[in-house]
Chains A and B, each alone.
Chain A
Amino acid sequence: MGSSAKSSSPITTHVLNTGDGVPAARVALSLHRLDPRMAIWSLITIGNTNEDGRCPGLITRDAFTPGLYKIRFETGQYWESLGQSSFYPYVEIVFTISDADQSCHVPLLVSRYSYSTYRGS
């Protein structure tokens, strides 16, 4: 995938480790879209967050159609790699894209016993 496509992914994320006050690096994650006819989730991308807790290139503009999307964050594995347990084995955030002309930022602020998300820009 070319760098221009990575910089212009209309869906972006940012994972923050709020327990330690650092970006959550090397968190495995996957983006899925719900196929409305078959009511099953199709995998679009698998990736890992970088040192800044971001994961460029989640989806191309062309593939970004209206519908239901899901990002699954392997937070349990992340905390395990830090030698710690967590209340949540993983986090899934399901969201609706009605206007594919906009961009959508879906961050995850996570600690061992809490998490939050919001629709950003």
Chain B
Amino acid sequence: MNRLQHIRGHMLADKNMNIATTLPSPLTTHVLNAAQGVPGANMTISLHRLNPISSEWYLLTTGITDDDGRCPGLITKESFIAGVYKMHFETGKYWDALGETCFYPYVEVIFTISDPSQKYHVPLLLSRFSYSTYRGS
């Protein structure tokens, strides 16, 4: 049975399932521990959207990266409107759990979504003393 058939089977079996949860988030992230060459697992992250009228950040989602350094289900297609977003990564706590210090207590990446019909990938490549990010696919 291929993956699509597997998912379809679940959906037909449970009519109460929220179909939106099976659709991939249009915004994804991936945390890589570049120093050790492993995914950045068990890192707490949060997604926020800027309210352009009040200039305040509105918390949309909090999550923890899985063993692959990913965090599925960040946002639904319906909630993904154009605007300025912020991804907050708890990098200090991540390295602390590994028994190490980190130059960055947290990392925030602020980015602009102008076309919410596209997919956006906002990864974080991280070590104790450096990090990088890019717009991926």
Q: Do A and B come from one complex?
A: yes
Interface residue ranges, A against B (CB under 8 Å): 68, 76, 85-96, 98, 109, 113-119
CB of B111, distance to nearest CB on chain A (Å): 5
The digit string for B89-118, where 1 denotes a CB below 8 A from any CB of A, is 000100000000111111111111010000
A113 and B135 contacting across the interface, CB-CB below 8 Å: yes
Given contacts A87-B135, A88-B110, A89-B112, is CB(A94)–CB(B105) below 8 Å? yes
B129 and A118 contacting across the interface, CB-CB below 8 Å: yes
B112 and A95 contacting across the interface, CB-CB below 8 Å: no
Interface residue ranges, B against A (CB under 8 Å): 84, 92, 101-112, 114, 125, 129-135
For residue B102, which residues in chain A have a CB less than 8 angstroms away from its CB?
A: 96
Given contacts A114-B134, A116-B131, is CB(A94)–CB(B106) below 8 Å? yes
B112 and A87 contacting across the interface, CB-CB below 8 Å: yes
A117 and B131 contacting across the interface, CB-CB below 8 Å: yes
A96 and B130 contacting across the interface, CB-CB below 8 Å: no
Given contacts A87-B112, A89-B84, A89-B112, is CB(A94)–CB(B131) below 8 Å? no
Contact partner of A117 (CB less than 8 A), chosen from B105, B110, B111, B132, is: B132
A-B pairs under 8 A by CB, number: 58
For residue A115, which residues in chain B have a CB less than 8 angstroms away from its CB?
A: 132-134
Contact partner of B105 (CB less than 8 A), chosen from A68, A86, A114, is: A68
14 CB-based A-B contacts, threshold 8 Å:
A85-B114, A88-B112, A94-B106, A94-B107, A94-B108, A95-B105, A96-B92, A96-B103, A96-B105, A113-B134, A114-B134, A117-B131, A118-B129, A118-B131
A96 and B104 contacting across the interface, CB-CB below 8 Å: yes
**When A and B form their complex, which 4 residue pairs have the shortest distance between CB atoms, in order from nearest?**
A116-B132, A114-B134, A118-B130, A119-B129
For residue A94, which residues in chain B have a CB less than 8 angstroms away from its CB?
A: 104-108
CA distance A98 to B101 in the complex (A): 11
Contact partner of A116 (CB less than 8 A), chosen from B84, B101, B111, B133, is: B133
